Structure 1
Amino acid sequence: METDGLRTDRLGLLLDQFDQARAMARVRLAGLGDEEYLWEPVARCWSIRRRGDAATPRAYGPGEWVLDKGAPGIPANEYAEVARQAADGMTIAKIADDWSVTVERVEQVLAHTGTPEPDDTPITTIAWRLGHLHSDFAGRWEWTFGERRRDPKLLVDFTPSAASALERFWKLVDRWRDSVAAVTDEQLDMVGFSQYPYGSDPDDPFIAVLAGANLEFIHHMAEVALLRDLWRTRFTAFE
């Protein structure tokens, strides 16, 4: 169904949302240079670094440059998701495996009452946010539409070149979008249509996976846009 040129079917709504976010992101990322791409606005940022300079315990990537990644954990803003997983019938052991934490940690989260304390999360660079998104979309494509065998952490060769990173990223994003556009209604409702191993994809209907992927894209691109604004005004912010 269409209304004034806009689709109102389930897949159409998600595609239109993604297309609008992608178009805005392309405009906001135009002219990104290497210095801005790697800019660390505060100390102890997460970014991409040469393998020998990695400062985080689980930094990953197949080449010379790796993406910072810290110790596994369940952030406070995900406590509700853990509760949802348990309510949907996932065992505590499966939830622990999903988040790469201990069973005891999952039990602590499920037993928590009240408002969780805010997480002390690292500030991340534009390079990190783009690398994280690139890795996420590459892995989801491989484990949904690809061979479903390659390690998602080895699919993206991170680079200190903003132009190269964006060229590769947009090509991958376009491939994801084209593949999603061909999904049938039956596949949208299929639990486990995506077998992406780092998350709950195998336990979710694919329409929920798509909604989550859109949210991931939108919120990280909003963060990138803010970092670009801060970079542009970095010498005038306190005048």
Structure 2
Amino acid sequence: MEPEGVRTDRLGVLLDQFDQAREMAQVRLTGLGDEEYLWEPVPGCWSIRRRGRASTPRAFGPGEWLLDLGAPDIPASEYAEIARQAADGMSVTKIADDWSVSVERVEQVLAHTGVPEPDATPVTTIAWRLGHLHFHLAGQWEWTFGERRHEPKLLVEFSPSAAVAVERFWELIDRWRDSVGAVTAEQLDTVGFSQYPYSSDPDNPYIAVLSGTCHEFIHHMAEIALLRDLWRART
């Protein structure tokens, strides 16, 4: 018997987890100001930049402000995934295309032995983390529940205003949550129900995609919360 108010079905468990994380995230984002939103705690941070001032090679966005993005690579945390793809019969060429890297880079990863060295990933601002989440979820919604024709990198207008960015983000989150809440059990098991192109979504059942999205939301919101703590303690 299912306890009152607690869902134990697959979709319900994930949505309850997401809803709890959303509630905590909304509290942690309350009062976010522009200076804190754009704060770069160390040199070389990724953030949002005015068009023409971005220092990263693949910064993107449809408007005046772009989201920093570096050259494509395979992070150490994904080496096991590359090995799995190869073991499942995916060619080195297809893997390279899938990750937007060279064949030589894929071969280097497959030949690696032992524990990978930690990635030298950049520190990112609250503006970057929120923009990254917004872009990712907007693209997932479009390529799962939308028309599946709009370029994901053109869906989000990044803003230097914390209040504007947060308001737009929660509007997207509510739309995404409403759509996911109506997914059927059959759709959860459908491989390719999401066709989001900047991920492995088309190759996975939607239940796995949804689990990954919840994880993405939770861990980036935790990082934003830590940055807010550091901002308050910076003096």
Query: TM-score under structure 1 normalisation?
Result: 0.96
Between the aligned partners of 2:90 and 2:212, the Cα distance in structure 1 is 19
Q: For residue 121 of structure 2, what is the aligned residue in structure 1? A: 121
Q: Does 1:206 align with 2:206?
A: yes
Shift of 1:90: 2.9
Q: For residue 184 of structure 2, what is the aligned residue in structure 1? A: 184
Shift of 1:86: 2.6
Q: For residue 164 of structure 1, what is the aligned residue in structure 2? A: 164
Shift of 1:112: 1.1
Between the aligned partners of 1:139 and 1:91, the Cα distance in structure 2 is 27
User: AA paired with 1:125?
Assistant: T
Counting only pairs closer than 5 Å after superposition, residues 48-59 of structure 1 correspond to structure 2 as 48-59=48-59
CA deviation map 1:87-141 (0-9, x unaligned): 3343322221221111221121122110001111100000000000000000000
CA deviation map 1:24-76 (0-9, x unaligned): 00001100000000000000100000011001000000000000000000011
SS at structure 2 position matched to 1:66: strand
Q: For residue 137 of structure 1, what is the aligned residue in structure 2? A: 137
Shift of 1:3: 2.0
Q: For residue 28 of structure 1, what is the aligned residue in structure 2? A: 28
Q: For residue 231 of structure 1, what is the aligned residue in structure 2? A: 231
Q: For residue 72 of structure 2, what is the aligned residue in structure 1? A: 72
CA deviation map 1:202-224 (0-9, x unaligned): 10111110010011000000000
Between the aligned partners of 1:81 and 1:39, the Cα distance in structure 2 is 34
Between the aligned partners of 1:84 and 1:24, the Cα distance in structure 2 is 35
Between the aligned partners of 2:223 and 2:195, the Cα distance in structure 1 is 28
SS at structure 2 position matched to 1:49: strand
SS at structure 2 position matched to 1:17: helix
User: AA paired with 1:177?
Assistant: R
SS at structure 2 position matched to 1:73: coil
Shift of 1:78: 1.2
Between the aligned partners of 1:221 and 1:89, the Cα distance in structure 2 is 36
Query: TM-score under structure 2 normalisation?
Result: 0.97
SS at structure 1 position matched to 2:66: strand
Shift of 1:83: 2.0
Counting only pairs closer than 5 Å after superposition, residues 3-14 of structure 1 correspond to structure 2 as 3-14=3-14
Between the aligned partners of 2:85 and 2:12, the Cα distance in structure 1 is 27
Task: Name whichever of 73-82 and 91-100 sits farther off.
Answer: 91-100
Q: For residue 196 of structure 1, what is the aligned residue in structure 2? A: 196
Between the aligned partners of 1:18 and 1:4, the Cα distance in structure 2 is 19
What residue ranges of structure 2 are gaps of 5+ in the alignment?
none
Shift of 1:80: 1.5
Between the aligned partners of 1:145 and 1:129, the Cα distance in structure 2 is 24
CA deviation map 1:147-198 (0-9, x unaligned): 0011100000000000000000000011111100111111101000000000
User: AA paired with 2:204?
Assistant: D
User: AA paired with 1:67?
Assistant: L
